Structure 1
Amino acid sequence: MSTIRPRTSAASEATATPGWGGRGGRGGRRRGPVRSLAPGLAACVVALALAFGIHALLPSLPAMTLAVVLGIAAANLPGVSGWVDGSWQPGLRFAGKHLMRAGIVLLGLKLSLGDIAALGWQSFALIVAVVLLSFAGTYALGKLFKLPGDAPLLIATGFSICGASAIGAMAAVRGTKHQDTVLPVALVTLCGTLAIGTLPLLMHPLGLDAVTFGRWVGASVHDVGQVVAASQTAGAVALSAAVVIKLSRVVLLAPIVATAGLFERRRRRATAAAADHAGTFPPIVPLFVLGFLAMIAVRSLGWASPAVLDFGNLAQEIALGPALFGLGSSVRVRELLHAGPRSLVMALFAWALIAALGLGAVVLAG
């Protein structure tokens, strides 16, 4: 159920894109690593500027969601798609991996343990329960619908914690190939975008006040930007409540990724023992997740001034925007439509499950 085109070899890419990769440029010289990344990273910068520009005109559309959409558009527009598969490819892959990790580290500056403690242990326990139940339920749905490889795990991580960022973190600790993250990112973006338009319409029919609505959005919508876009429709009080609940979910990224890392090490150790060779083992907690925890500590201890926090927030979007554009550029709509109906139905069921769990939790919390 792959949703991207088969990789071309380095030799074929060099032949297809003379002057931009390998041999084939002037004098048959090779480009250096930095020059090979430049076209793709330049495209990421342009896409980021467009995403911010559209967001400024239409604040209800999160810039990070727009970055994914622009990546999908670039991969499927005639002419531009040739650049995506050719000269842009090294830079896009670099952004999808390394800038994603940088963005996750900076995400920690949004989290203050004091804000989470102010919720009270009962509310936080309910949030933990929502995350764990939605993770387990989404993973079970992925297995039930027979999604391949790591797709059930990645979708469960993205839906239950913080969207594409969480997918990137889990993929890193599992050693998942870039192309296998494409479908989970597409689904989490689609369902999060649907939530922006759907949940505000349900506020009054469900009889929710602004605070309860904000908490529901924070407990059930995937990405931080999507939470902001959906909750701000009910005012500043709803937005504030939503962000605190959402960031309480985000803090669970570290323990869940660490648990996955522990299981992955055990699996690889068992495989290596069976094959009677040394094997290689990933760290239980990747360095970028440790960086994420360090940034939480910086924010919680008050070591960062408001100016530094504002800069960190901007830097996080500057890192995540190109990463999400790079991930979106791997999506081929024709192949997704051909191979993805089962995945789409599964994602919609998971979306309904998380929304129901989130609503139940905020009602219980009062």
Structure 2
Amino acid sequence: MTSPVRSVSTLAPALGVTFAAVAISYVVNLVLPVVSVLTAAVVLGVAVGSTPVLPEATRAVIARLTKRMLRVGVVLLGLQLALPVVLDLGAGLIVAIVLTVAVTFLGTVWLGRLIGVPRGLSLLVGTGFGICGASAVAAMEDVVEREDSDVATAIALVTCYGGLAIAAVPLIGRWLGLAPLDVGAWSGLAVHEVAQVVAAATPAGAAAVTLAVVVKLSRVVLLAPMVALVSVHERRRRPRRSDGSRPPLVPMFVLGFLAATVLRSTNVVPAGALDVAAVACTLLLAGALFGLGCAVRIGRLVRTGGRALLLGLLSTLLVGTTSLVGLAMLA
């Protein structure tokens, strides 16, 4: 049995390191707004994890904390989503959102198999590119068999190609003669992180930014169904993981996410509480992504870099093309 003194002596350094990492990530986001807090956190985690600066005992505690922070953070993410706002987008745009997410996810997994990318990484990239970037990757990593480095690689690809989309979407939109609101809708459909969506839509004006954020959050609504479906499929495909455990039928944090979304949609939660929950969600997910990054070794990342970069490029082209066609035909 572990003594209370020993527990405190191992827990305190892990909490201190995680808190410091989250604080640094916030500073990075303030200096470079296109780099989200979550992206900065995982990059910092990879940098720390690839050096011998952390004792093994501290790494082990951070790994345990990561699971808890991740699950609570995903539940709180549901409080950012109000279903009536999504329904106000109209049937055509909603169908375009569902189509974009489904084609991006399934197409990315198929492309990953075609070019020889590990299945776990393909699932994470498809989720991150199709739904909501780093948050989606973090939610999906708990239900699929993957390497720790796959999580960091998927989030690195979200950062890289989402950054490129910030410049590409308004330029292509101008070249195609898209109206400002169409540029906003396309940004919300095709770009990964919320900060990146805002940056991509900003040249089209304030109204375009507002629409882009609503469309983006509508993609986030599909996170819970996506994770649940993949979890059920993984359980049928392989009843036992390599460590002997069974994939959850539907993870409890997914049910919590859905419950939080329903609660937000009833408008009973005060605005102040929603603001606090939003900050807590970012803090928890940033801490979780830092912990995931700490388990990564740069050497393993580099060895799979070429094919992963190609998958990210193909997935970016897929989400961009599918969303643009969907807008033209349905919205």
TM over 0.5: yes
Cα distance in 2 between the residues matched to 1:349 and 1:32? 49
Shift of 1:344: 0.9
Q: Provide closer, same or farther for how the CA distance between residues 30 and 144 of structure 1 changes in structure 2, counting only shifts above 3 A.
A: farther
Partner of 2:25: 51
2:261 paired residue among 279, 283, 296: 296
CA distance in structure 2 between the aligned counterparts of 1:128 and 1:355, rounded to whole angstroms? 14
Question: Counterpart in 2 of 1:158?
Answer: 128
2:80 pairs with 1:110: yes
The equivalent position to 1:243 in structure 2, one of 213, 220, 225, is 213
The residue type paired with residue 155 of structure 1 is V
Deviations 1:216-247 (A, max 9, x none): 11111122333233333433212211111111
Is the 8 Å Cα contact of residues 259 and 284 (structure 1) preserved in structure 2?
Answer: no
Q: Deviations over 1:115-167 (max 9, x none)?
A: 11101122111111111111111011110011124222222122111222222
The match for 1:352 is 317
Deviation track 1:44-98 (CA, whole Å, cap 9, x = no partner) reads 211221222232233333222222232233345xxxx212463541243234322
Residue 68 of structure 2 aligns to which amino acid in structure 1? H
Local SS of the residue matching 1:157: helix
Give yes or no for contact 1:65–1:193 (8 Å, CA) kept in 2.
Answer: no
CA distance in structure 1 between the partners assigned to 2:167 and 2:44 by the alignment: 19
| Conserved 8 A contact 1:84-1:329 | no
Find the counterpart in structure 2 of residue 4 from structure 1: none
Q: Which residue of 2 aligns with 1:134?
A: 104
Say whether residues 1:313 and 2:242 are aligned partners: no
Aligned to 1:5: none
Secondary structure at the counterpart of residue 185 of structure 2: helix
- Report the equivalent of 2:138: 168
Task: Report whether the alignment pairs 1:328 with 2:323.
Answer: no
In the aligned structure 2, how far is the partner of 1:55 from the partner of 1:217?
20
Bigger CA radius of gyration: 1
Q: What is the TM-score normalised by the length of structure 2?
A: 0.89
Number of aligned residue pairs: give it: 328
The CA distance in 1 between the partners of 2:57 and 2:313, in whole Å, is: 36
Taking the aligned partners of 1:85 and 1:362, their CA distance within structure 2 comes to 51
Of 69, 72, 75, the residue aligned with 1:99 is 69
- TM-score, normalised via structure 1 length: 0.81
- Distance in 2 separating the partners of 1:91 and 1:236: 44
RMSD: 2.6
Asked whether the 8 Å contact 1:268–1:280 carries over to 2, the reply is no
Q: What corresponds to 1:285 in structure 2?
A: 250
User: Per-residue deviation at 1:251?
Assistant: 1.0
For the residue of structure 1 that corresponds to 2:248, the secondary structure is coil
CA contact (8 A) 1:37 1:90 kept: no
Q: 1:319 to 1:191 in 2, by over 3 A?
A: same
Deviation at 1:199, TM superposition (A): 2.8
Counterpart in 1 of 2:38?
64
1-side partners of 2:160 and 2:68: how far apart? 24
Query: Unaligned stretches of 5+ in structure 1?
Result: 1-21, 23-28, 273-278
Give the distance between the partners of 1:186 and 1:297, measured in 2 at CA.
Answer: 32
Deviates more, 1:328-337 or 1:65-74: 328-337
Unaligned runs of 5+ in 2: none
| Cα distance in 2 between the residues matched to 1:74 and 1:281 | 31
Superposition deviation, residue 334 in structure 1: 4.0
Whole-Å Cα distance in 1 between the matches of residues 113 and 38 of structure 2?
29
Q: 1:365 to 1:285 in 2, by over 3 A?
A: same
Contact 1:97-1:168 at 8 Å conserved across structures: no
Alpha carbons 1:138, 1:350 under 8 Å: kept: yes
Q: Distance in 1 between matches of 2:55 and 2:129?
A: 29
Contact 1:145–1:343 under 8 Å retained in 2: no
Distance 1:336 1:61 in 2: 20
Question: Are the equivalent residues in 2 in contact too, given 1:39–1:87 (CA < 8 A)?
Answer: no
| Equivalent pair of 1:68/1:189 in contact (CA under 8 Å) | no
**Does 1:36 find its partner at 2:10?**
yes
1:336 shift after superposition:
2.3
Runs of 4+ in 1 over 4 A off after TM superposition: none
Deviation at 1:31, TM superposition (A): 6.4
Contact persistence 1:224–1:246 (CA under 8 A): yes
Q: Residues of 1 paired with 2:37 and 2:150: CA distance?
A: 24
Q: Is the 8 A contact 1:37 1:94 kept in 2?
A: no
Q: Aligned partner of 2:195: which letter? A: G
2:38–2:134 contact (8 Å) kept in structure 1 = no
* 1:207 corresponds to which of 177, 185, 192: 177
Change (3 A) 1:91 1:212: farther
Mapped to 2, the partners of 1:199 and 1:333 lie a distance apart of: 31
The one-character-per-residue Cα deviations of 1:165-198 (angstroms, maximum 9, x if unpaired) are 2222222223545444333233223222332343
Task: Answer whether contact 1:40 1:88 (CA < 8 A) is retained.
Answer: yes
